[in-house]
Amino acid sequence: MVALQAQAGPEILVIDDSSTIRRSAEIFLSQSGYSVLLAEDGFEALSKIVERRPALIFCDILMPRLDGYQTCSLIRYSKDYRDIPVVLLSSRDGLFDRARGAIAGATAYLTKPFTKDSLLKIVRDHVSQREAA
C-alpha cells in the first residue's frame, strides 16, 4: 500500500508486520511533510525499494518470511541501493541485538515503542546527511 503520495517531502519506507506500528510511523512522518511507503515484510519491501528508491528505510527486525536483519543485508549487498539508510526497529534493546544490526549493515537502531520526536530525529539526521552527500 502506498500512502500519502501527494506529500512533497522525501519518501520514507516503513517495513513492519504490525499495522499499529506502520500506522503510527505513517502519521508521524506524513504530519511532518514526508511521503510514506508501507510494507508488511521484507519481500514486499524489496519490490518497493526497486520501484521507488526511498530516501530512508525503517525496518522491523522480527517479521515473517524475511526478517529485518536479512532485509538489511540484502539492501547492503545491492550496489544500487546500499547507500539508502536503514534503521532497524525492535522492542529488543540489548547489546547483542544492536551488534547483530550493525553486522547486517544497519545505519541506526530505534527501539519500539518510539516517539514522534525520536522517529523524526533519525529521519532529519540521516536524510539530510544523504542529501548533502
Give yes or no for a contact between 38 and 1, defined as CB atoms under 8 angstroms apart. Answer: yes
| Backbone torsions φ then ψ of 37, nearest 5 degrees | -110, 145
Nearest to 10 by CA among 132, 95, 106: 132
Structure confidence by residue, pLDDT tens digits, 76-110: 999 999 999 999 999 988 899 999 999 999 999 99
Domains with residue ranges and CATH for the chain: 2-132 (3.40.50.2300)
| Backbone torsions φ then ψ of 36, nearest 5 degrees | -125, 130
Structure confidence by residue, pLDDT tens digits, 118-131: 999 999 999 965 55
Whole-model pTM: value is 0.90
